[in-house]
């Protein structure tokens, strides 16, 4: 009996690595600390009522944000571990399998569990406020999306200490990811973690598409909609077409692994190339899914901090739509070297280069928004200005990569690694950080400290170039990605050491940002006006943080930058505002079902990973029952009476 338990425990838990034992201890202690604090201050009820069951888009956004920052931390630690291992030749810090697990985890987390939720955080926090809505189109579904993401991410992260992590790269190319070469459960954790959160992502795409199309304030025609909302719209369209491909692809891979099918296997008539095509049919649009909202953020910030209308609004909209359409016609550039032949390679080379055209136009439009403006170098604008050169260089190396025959020399080398980190960090991360700094006062009612933020900003920026510029050179020196070690003979050592120093500078930048948040909670400049940056769009017309119903009265939109126009009119004394008439506000009720249903998905996923039939049965039954219960709930909404709205507005300093 004791022996059985011991042998089970040794396969169930990851053993033998001091780093992981350290993590085990940290996880247990953190959990105990959280439980202790919640119990001591009697906060369990608060947690359940205010957060776990909430359907308020603003709170869901904040939860996405917290998760994504935690994931940024974990993915970042992974990156630093890798850079330590590669700092010098023949370092004996991580062994091959551990290193492989770390780069797989780093990639998966950064794209799917960091970039995606950070993007959804901003969707949630900003879009309804920006279009003058009181919530998203489907608030219950929105909560469900979040909890599916949360439990999917939990499942994926659990493989770190239970069962072992996946080791076959962030896109899990078969046949390496098949049972034959990856017999462990890590690959199944990867599949189910992504599948469960992927359902949530698809639902979010649908939710925000409908929200933007159906819930804009009266008078806000599509061509008067702020550009961030346009970017969300184009991103959501891309999600809706791309994510089902991911779900099907990973489902087929799981069928191979679980039922012994031969869809992508090496033998038995399987076709791994099919997988590579399918995964990139999702994977390429995915990078545009995350970068388009960043473009939207920059457009908002550039206009606000140049005190000038965005230049070439129609071009901007047109460019985003072209990008989201073209993104579906470039997937094969990820494997020019797979021998598809000259016709295919020529097509995909040209279509890839073509994406540079609308992207370039956007850069020019941002520049000419600043031209003849008045540029205030506040934190959001600093990140935006840093983004432009970084993304321009990253885009240029992207065009170089698109030259198919030349790509034969860049493919899978550090040149490629440097390129995609430059567009993903310079574009996506800088963009989301800019967005977080910009909308932070709207979320929490105070600004983040400028001084500490500038330390973070410069460390990130200088660190970025120190880390990734040498990697372009390493690519030319023949260094390929995913090497856990290398020798002295090839001359790769100095540049790798420089790169590691840069990575740690970025890590230090992150530490400064965490410090900045902690410091600003106490000492940050309070936002009493609701409009700390002299903004242009509707979200700045309401108090910070926004009341639960967002708008006491739904605004009537007349202009593209409506709030700016209103302020101008008020200043000129030409404002013709009828006294607002309050009405009871219709709102959705909280529900525990999204949390419970997602938890059952987690149980089912865990069962699938380990092949435990009872867990699968209980999990799926729980999911089904949750759906049934929800189907028979009719009491899902309520009205906020006029008195209460008036009281709330008064307490926020607004007379209605």
Partner 1 sequence: MGARKWLGRVQFWIMAVLASVLLSGCGSEYMVLNPKGPVAETQYNLIIISVILVSIVILPVLAITFYIVWRYRDKPGNKAPYQPEWAHNTTLEVIWWGIPVVIIAILGYFTVRDTYALVEPPNKEVKPITVQVTSLDWKWMFTYPEQNIATVNYVHIPVGVPVQFELTAEAPMNSFWVPQLAGQIYTMPGMAMGLWLQADEPGEYFGTGANFTGKGFAHMQFKVIAEPQEEFDKWVQQVKNTAPGMTRQDYENLVKPGLSDRLTYSSFPPGLFEEIVKKYGHAHGNHPGGMNHYKNNLKNNDDQHDEGHQGGGQQDAGQHGSHGGNDAQASHQHDMSGTNH
Residues 617-656, interacting with partner 1 (CB under 8 A): none
Nearest to 123 by CA among 63, 61, 70: 61
> Does position 413 bind partner 1 by CB under 8 A?
yes
Q: Is 459 in the site for partner 1 (CB under 8 A)?
A: no
Distance CA 23, CA 649 (A): 47
Return d(Cα 235, Cα 205) in angstroms, integer: 8
The sign of the CA dihedral 422, 245, 58, 209 is positive
Tokens read off for 119: 């993007």
Rank residues 390 and 603 by Cβ distance to partner 1 and give the closer one: 390
Binding of partner 1 at residue 244 (CB under 8 A)? no
Q: Considering the complex, what minimum distance in angstroms separates the CB of residue 344 from partner 1? A: 6
**Residue 216 touches partner 1, criterion: CB under 8 A:** no
Apex 144 CA angle, 239 and 243, nearest 5: 20
Phi then psi dihedrals of residue 268, to 5 deg: 65, 25
Residue 420 within binding range of partner 1, rule CB under 8 A: no
Give the binding range for partner 1 (CB under 8 A) out of 261-269, 436-444, 571-579, 624-632: 261-269
Q: What value does the CA radius of gyration of the chain take, rounded to a whole number of Å?
A: 25
Residue 407: asked if its preceding bond is cis (omega within 30°), the reply is: no
Instruction: Determine if 367 is a binding residue for partner 1 (CB under 8 A).
Output: yes
Q: C-beta of 94: minimal distance to partner 1 in Å?
A: 9
Of 179, 481, 646, 654, the residue at the interface with partner 1 (CB under 8 A) is 481
Q: Which of 48, 73, 258, 368 binds partner 1 (CB under 8 A)?
A: 368
**572 lies in the site for partner 1, by CB under 8 A:** no
Instruction: Select from 29-37, 59-67, 192-200, 367-375 the region that touches partner 1 (CB under 8 A).
Output: 367-375
372 is a contact residue toward partner 1 (CB under 8 A) = yes
Residue 488, phi then psi, degrees to nearest 5: -75, -20
Q: Which of 23, 24, 53, 169 binds partner 1 (CB under 8 A)?
A: 169
Residue closer to partner 1 (CB basis): 487 or 579: 487
Nearer to partner 1, 220 or 385 (CB): 385
Residues counted in the chain: 656
Q: Does 263 bind partner 1 (CB under 8 A)?
A: no
Say how far residue 304 (Cα) sits from the centre of its chain: 24
168 binds partner 1 (CB under 8 A): yes
Name the residue nearer to partner 1 (CB basis): 19 or 377. 377
Shortest approach of partner 1 to residue 655 CB, angstroms? 30
Cα–Cα distance measured from residue 328 to residue 244, given in angstroms and rounded to the nearest whole number? 13
Residue with smaller CB distance to partner 1, 407 or 649? 407
Answer for which of 52, 70, 266, 618 binds partner 1 (CB under 8 A) is 266
Q: Tell me how many residues contact partner 1 (CB under 8 A).
A: 106
The answer to whether 377 contacts partner 1 (rule: CB under 8 A) is yes
* Angstrom distance (rounded) from CA 228 to CA 294: 8
Residue 374 binds to partner 1 (criterion: CB under 8 A): yes
15 binds partner 1 (CB under 8 A): no
Contact flag: residue 478 with partner 1 (CB under 8 A): yes
Give, as ranges, the residues between 176 and 215 that touch partner 1 (CB under 8 A): 176, 181
Window 492-531: residues binding partner 1 (CB under 8 A): 492-495, 497-498
Q: Does 334 bind partner 1 (CB under 8 A)?
A: no
Q: Which two tokens stand for residue 67?
A: 């998760």
Instruction: Classify 556 in phi/psi space as left (phi over 0), alpha (psi -120 to 50) or beta.
Output: beta
Binds partner 1 by CB under 8 A, chosen from 12, 255, 261, 312: 312
Kindly tell me which residue out of 44, 408, 638, 639 binds partner 1, with binding defined by CB under 8 A.
408
Distance between CA atoms of residues 93 and 619, nearest Å: 40
Spatial contact of 249 and 274, defined as CB atoms under 8 Å apart: no
Q: Work out the angle at residue 232's Cα, subtended by the Cα atoms of residues 226 and 237, and round it to the nearest 5 degrees.
A: 130
What lies within 8 Å, CB to CB, of 150 at 6+ separation is 63, 67, 197, 598
Considering only 64, 146, 228, 311, the residue that binds partner 1 (CB under 8 A) is 311
Please tell me whether residue 571 binds partner 1 under the rule CB under 8 A.
no
Q: Which is nearer to partner 1, 354 or 618 (CB)?
A: 354
Helix (H) or strand (E) holding 367: helix 342-370
Name the residue nearer to partner 1 (CB basis): 357 or 575: 357
Q: Which residues pair with 480 in a beta bridge?
A: 413
Residue 533 has what DSSP assignment?
A: T
Does the protein bind partner 1 through residue 375 (CB under 8 A)?
yes
Q: What is the 3-state secondary structure (H, E, C) of 298-326?
A: HHHHHHHHHCCCCCCHHHHHHHHHHHHHH
Q: 247 vs 412, which CB is nearer to partner 1?
A: 412
321 binds partner 1 (CB under 8 A): no
Helix (H, G, I), strand (E, B) or coil at 639: strand
Binding of partner 1 at residue 396 (CB under 8 A)? yes
Nearest distance from C-beta of residue 554 to partner 1, angstroms: 27
- Are the CB atoms for 136 and 178 separated by under 8 Å? no
**Exactly one of 306, 513, 520, 537 binds partner 1 (CB under 8 A); which one?**
306
- When asked if residue 271 is in the footprint of partner 1 (CB under 8 A), the reply is yes
Angstrom distance (rounded) from CA 27 to CA 104: 21
Q: How far apart are CA 67 and CA 73, in angstroms?
A: 10
> From the CB of 93, what's the least distance to partner 1, in Å?
9
Span 87-116, contacts to partner 1 by CB under 8 A: 88-89, 92, 95-97, 100
Q: Does 582 bind partner 1 (CB under 8 A)?
A: no
Per CB under 8 A, which of residues 127..156 are in contact with partner 1? none
Distance, CA of 500 to CA of 522 (rounded, Å):
34
Query: Out of 35, 37, 44, 307, which residue is the one contacting partner 1 (CB under 8 A)?
Result: 307
Q: Which of residues 292 and 498 has its CB atom nearest to partner 1 in the complex?
A: 498
State which residue, 135 or 561, has the beta carbon closest to partner 1: 561
Query: From CA 203, how far away is CA 254, in angstroms rounded?
Result: 22
Out of 38, 77, 84, 388, point to the residue binding partner 1 (CB under 8 A): 388
- Closer to partner 1 by CB, 46 or 371: give it: 371
Burial label for 633, CB within 10 Å (0-12, 13-18, 19+), is: exposed
Closest CA to 67 of 24, 116, 19: 116
CA distance 419 to 183: 33
Distance in Å, CB of 279 to partner 1, minimum:
13
Residue 478 makes CB contacts below 8 A (sequence gap 6+) with 413, 490
Angstrom distance (rounded) from CA 627 to CA 614: 20
């Amino acid at each position: 009996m004791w022996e059985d338990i011991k042998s089970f425990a040794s396969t169930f838990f990851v053993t033998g690595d001091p780093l992981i034992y350290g993590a085990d201890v940290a996880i247990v202690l953190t959990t105990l600390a959280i439980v202790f604090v919640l119990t001591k201050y009697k906060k369990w009820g608060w947690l359940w009522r205010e957060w776990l069951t909430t359907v308020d888009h603003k709170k869901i956004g904040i939860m996405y944000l917290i998760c994504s920052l935690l994931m940024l931390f974990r993915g970042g630690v992974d990156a630093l571990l890798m850079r330590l291992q590669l700092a010098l030749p023949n370092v004996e810090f991580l062994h091959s399998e551990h290193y492989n697990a770390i780069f797989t985890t780093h990639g998966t987390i950064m794209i799917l569990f960091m970039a995606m939720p950070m993007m959804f955080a901003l969707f949630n926090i900003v879009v309804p406020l920006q279009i003058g809505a009181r919530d998203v189109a489907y608030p219950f579904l929105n909560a469900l999306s979040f909890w599916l993401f949360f439990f999917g991410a939990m499942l994926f992260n659990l493989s770190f200490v239970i069962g072992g992590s996946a080791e076959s790269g962030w896109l899990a190319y078969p046949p390496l990811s098949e049972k034959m070469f990856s017999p462990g459960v890590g690959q199944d954790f990867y599949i189910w973690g992504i599948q469960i959160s992927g359902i949530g992502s698809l639902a979010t795409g649908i939710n925000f598409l409908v929200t933007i199309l159906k819930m804009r304030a009266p008078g806000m025609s599509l061509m008067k909609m702020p550009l961030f909302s346009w970017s969300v719209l184009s991103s959501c369209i891309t999600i809706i077409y791309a994510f089902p491909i991911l779900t099907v692809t990973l489902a087929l891979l799981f069928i191979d692994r679980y039922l012994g099918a031969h869809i992508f296997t090496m033998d038995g008539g399987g076709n791994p190339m099919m997988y590579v095509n399918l995964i990139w049919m999702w994977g390429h649009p995915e990078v545009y899914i995350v970068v388009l909202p960043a473009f939207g953020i920059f457009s908002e910030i550039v206009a606000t901090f140049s005190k000038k209308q965005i230049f070439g609004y129609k071009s901007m909209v047109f460019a985003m739509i072209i990008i989201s359409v073209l993104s579906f016609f470039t997937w094969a550039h990820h494997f020019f070297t797979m021998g598809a032949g000259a016709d295919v390679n020529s097509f995909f080379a040209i279509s890839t280069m073509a994406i540079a055209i609308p992207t370039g136009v956007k850069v020019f439009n941002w520049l000419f928004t600043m031209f003849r403006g008045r540029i205030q170098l506040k934190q959001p604008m600093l990140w935006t200005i840093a983004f432009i050169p970084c993304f321009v260089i990253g885009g240029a190396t992207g065009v170089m990569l698109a030259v198919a025959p030349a790509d034969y020399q860049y493919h899978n080398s550090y040149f490629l690694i440097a390129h995609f980190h430059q567009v993903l960090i310079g574009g996506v991360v800088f963009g989301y950080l800019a967005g977080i700094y910009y909308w932070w006062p709207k979320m929490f009612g105070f600004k983040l400290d400028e001084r500490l933020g500038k330390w973070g900003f410069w460390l990130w920026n200088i660190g970025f170039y120190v880390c990734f510029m040498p990697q372009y050179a390493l690519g030319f020196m023949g260094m390929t990605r995913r090497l856990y070690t290398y020798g002295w003979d090839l001359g790769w050592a100095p540049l790798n050491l420089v790169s590691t120093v840069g990575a740690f500078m970025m890590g230090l930048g992150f530490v400064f940002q965490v410090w900045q948040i902690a410091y600003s909670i106490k000492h940050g400049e309070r936002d009493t006006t609701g409009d700390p940056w002299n903004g242009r769009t509707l979200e700045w017309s309401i108090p910070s943080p926004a009341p639960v119903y967002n708008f006491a009265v739904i605004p009537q939109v007349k202009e593209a930058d409506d709030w700016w126009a209103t302020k101008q009119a008020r200043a000129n004394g030409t404002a013709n505002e009828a006294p607002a008439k309050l009405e009871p506000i219709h709102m959705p009720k909280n529900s525990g079902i999204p949390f419970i249903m997602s938890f059952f998905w987690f149980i089912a996923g865990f069962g699938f990973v380990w092949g435990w039939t009872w867990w699968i049965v209980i999990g799926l039954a729980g999911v089904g029952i949750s759906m049934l219960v929800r189907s028979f709930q009719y009491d899902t909404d309520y009205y906020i009476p006029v008195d209460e709205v008036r009281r709330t507005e008064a307490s926020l300093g607004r007379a209605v």
